[in-house]
Amino acid sequence: MGQYFPDTVSVDWLREHLDDPGTIVVDSSTHLALPKDGPYTVEPGRSTFDAEHIPGAVFADLLTDFADPGSAAAWTAPDSDRFAAAAGALGIGDGVRVVVYDQHDGYWATRFWWHLRLEGFDDVAVLDGGLPAWKAAGAPVTDAASSPASATFTARRRDNLIRSTQQVGDTLDDAGTVLVNVLDPATYRGETSTYARPGHIPGSINFPVAQLRDPDTGTLRPVEELRALFEAAGLLDPDVTPVTYCGGGIAATGVAHALALVGRDDVAVYDGSLTEWTADASLPLVTGDTPR
């Protein structure tokens, strides 16, 4: 295990290792309704998990247990103590490895992958294609509940993997930082009203997260294709640090995860993303196709 555990595993791999001692399978689904225009709504994925999940899986509620209860923004990363307690309750601790999936497009899974890495835990991989790929392969699902034995999770926060609004604002003119907006081009240009104000953070490039996946299967593109996309966008330049953001810090982790697959594991995520940035009328935004 340890550093040799990959960041992504296939359905075939998980079927083979599903009953391995020390393997914890986690469903981190959250249901997000994102209309073409207007604000998004969210709710936990507990009810759909209870109805159908991978055998033996446990549920991670990113809206409650793994979120800061004092934050006005949904699913803000909690402090290390709260995270450690919630992770330990799911059986996640020293000496185990975690495979995380979700019921949708994979970004709730990468969010939990990022959470674990933020707190210093590396033995975590994302199930490529999530529950849709699992079911498409004819793998079993169940509604049977699991009762994991509690574990001790030792948090060792990596502050370099997260950015606050203040930190993003302080580095708008920093040549060593590249802000990466992972939303669709129309939202990047400011043509939707999903957030309090339209547009993107000054200096940020647009790298839509959707291009990372095969539209037919929902699985990630081959690593070499991912590498070529990132190279073309300048995100493999060792002299800059990518900081990804989206609407609320979820899809941003999808790009951070894919970058880790090609060897770039130093990517930071702006946790508050546009939800927090656009709520402050004093913070600048840019509309149109160009970064500035």
Show which residues are catalytic: 246
DSSP type of residue 2: G
Residue type, 164: S
Report residue 136 as tokens. Answer: 């498409």
3-state class (DSSP) for residue 164: coil
For residue 252, the Cα-to-chain-centroid distance in whole angstroms is 6
Q: Which residues contact 25 (CB under 8 A, 6 or more apart)?
A: 14, 18, 54, 56, 57, 58, 98, 99, 100, 101
What is the C-alpha to C-alpha distance for residues 241 and 193, in angstroms, rounded to an integer?
Answer: 29
Best CA proximity match to 199, nearest among 272, 270, 290: 290
CA separation, residue 284 to residues 73, 168, 174, 287 (Å):
20, 12, 16, 10
What is the C-alpha to C-alpha distance for residues 187 and 250, in angstroms, rounded to an integer?
Answer: 16
Q: Please, what's the b/e burial string for 254-274 (b: 16 or more CB within 10 A of its CB; e: otherwise)?
A: bbbbbbbbbebeebbbbbbbb
* Largest pairwise CA distance in the chain: 53
